[in-house]
A and B are shown apart, each in its own frame.
Chain A
Amino acid sequence: MFDNIGQITLLFWRTVLALPQTWRQRQKVFDQFFEIGNASLLMVCVLSFFIGATIALVTGPVMVERSLGSAVGGVVGYAIANELAPVMMAILIAGRIGSAMAAEIGSMRVYQEIDALRTMNINPITYLVLPRVLAISVALPMLVVFSILVGWFGGAVVANFNHLMEIPFQVFFADLKDIVQLEDVVHGLIKSFFFSVIIGIVSCHQGLTTIGGPRGIGRSVTKAVVNSIVLVVFTDYILTLVLTHFSHR
């Protein structure tokens, strides 16, 4: 992966340079955006509900035991907004959408479709990479907002119905409102934006550099997912450091 960091950075820069072409590529951006939404929404829903539920299940009984039951909403809400929703959604999208991007572009590369674009003087970065990166960088933060809300709801349901907690919805959400600030949600969205660009660029790069026929496409898909997740986790640490430093808490 580290051999390719230079190439990935170059692809990112070329994609930035292609941004003025966004309006001309808007139809492709919309198509990709709806494809990402359609492919991911149900999974985001299920995953987020159970993330919230699990966090409540793990932390709730211990906190109730120590008479901190009223803080469960805050803990669950803070963890989901700041960390779990952006990272888990990024991992989900890397597996679901990043892999599809790498496979589609990789197949186009192997079957000379990208060469055909170049012979028609159509820039593959403008035609293929830009719409995908833009679509994912809008879709992922939106999915993260959705994930945060569903995750909070999942936590509240478990906190309410689990016999070890039995925390009323009003108490759960009142505490969540006290602890979680808009800034926390914004931090989650900032992270998700960075993650989306990483997933988009890394996956497209893997697709564009695919060699070796169908086996090569398989290798590219694996690399796209693994490299995206590694970079997401690394970037998450750096962003958490930076955002915590500038936090108003």
Chain B
Amino acid sequence: MNTPNGKSTGVSLVVRGLRKSFDGQEVIKGIDFTVKPGEIFVIMGPSGSGKSVLLKHLIGLEPADAGEILINDEPITSPEIAAKYRMALVFQSGALLSSLTVGENVGLYLAEHRLKPPEEIARIVAEKLADVGLKDVLHKMPSELSGGMKKRAAIARALVIEPQLILYDEPTSELDPLSSIVIGEEILELNRRTGVTSLVVTHDRDLAFGVASRIALISEGRIVTIGTPDEVKQFKNPLVQQFLHADFKRES
């Protein structure tokens, strides 16, 4: 994926043999996959399948029991190496700091690391909020925003980092279908405009098939299949078919 100026900003991501247990219970049971620079890679699976734990490993919030994670072919063995690459995680809840205004939340990274003067930060914050379609929320507190607006503000906060890899944790959970579409379009638009590598963890089938370059289906801590949306739809594995076609049974 290339940006309009023809230069890809995204990084490649390789996960090899990743394993993780909590209290003796193995949650991730040896996961392998590769994400190409600029790709939108979706990890889909039912609740409790280990998706969010996997994301925490990728961003360095959890140490793995075994396996390795490589970004641009460099093993991420310490937070210092991870910090070389600009990675952002959009949390399921948005995770905006409730004691700060939306504007302060979005500009927090720049302000705390003293990367720009205050007036420049204010300009960037306004620009990033506009990028995600949020206006007049600069001085509002996160508690005053709707669920969809919180997620868009969280995306704006992630964009301020100018990420090379952006991870989305259940970006459409708790959202109505229209807001989910807006978030999905936002993910596509950001990817098109910036060339950022995107990894989306979701159990929302519509979102997954709407935005993915490739999809990995995860179940009980293992990857069941990886492929393009069309390839995944054709995959005959009963677990995949069951997940893809799960629906209410109503008598007519």
Give A residues with C-beta under 8 Å from B. 24, 104, 107-108, 111-113, 115-122, 127
Contact = CB atoms under 8 A, between A and B. Distances in A.
A205 B114 CA distance: 27
14 contacts: A24-B114, A107-B98, A108-B97, A112-B92, A113-B98, A115-B56, A115-B89, A116-B95, A116-B97, A118-B60, A119-B61, A120-B112, A121-B113, A122-B109
A36 to B, nearest CB: 16
List 5 tightest A-B contacts by C-beta distance, closest first. Answer: A116-B95, A112-B95, A120-B109, A119-B89, A122-B112
Given A107-B98, A116-B96, 14 more contacts: A108-B98, A111-B95, A111-B98, A113-B98, A115-B56, A115-B89, A116-B97, A116-B157, A117-B97, A119-B89, A120-B157, A121-B109, A122-B108, A127-B112
B153 to A, nearest CB: 12
Contacts, number: 49
A118 B61 contact: yes
A108 B99 CA distance: 10
Given A120-B108, A120-B109, A115 B97 contact: no
B114 to A, nearest CB: 8
A115 B92 CA distance: 12
B61 A115 contact: yes
A111 B142 CA distance: 13
A127 B59 CA distance: 20
Interface string B104-135: 00001100111000000000000000000000
Pick the most buried of B59, B83, B89: most chain A CB atoms within 10 A of its CB: B89
B93 interface: yes
B141 interface: no
Name the prevailing secondary structure of the A interface residues: helix
A204 to B, nearest CB: 15
Contacts of B97: 108, 113, 116-117
Of the four ranges (under 10, 10 to 19, 20 to 34, 35 or more), the interface on chain B belongs to 20 to 34
B201 to A, nearest CB: 14
Contact of A119 (B87, B92, B99, B113): B87
B161 interface: yes
A135 to B, nearest CB: 15
A108 B108 CA distance: 15
B88 interface: yes
A107 B88 CA distance: 22
Given A113-B97, A115-B61, A121 B83 contact: yes
B108 A115 contact: no
Interface string B27-47: 000000000000000000000
Contact of B91 (A104, A112, A122, A127): A112
Given A120-B108, A121-B113, A122-B109, A111 B61 contact: no
Pick the most buried of B56, B112, B157: most chain A CB atoms within 10 A of its CB: B112
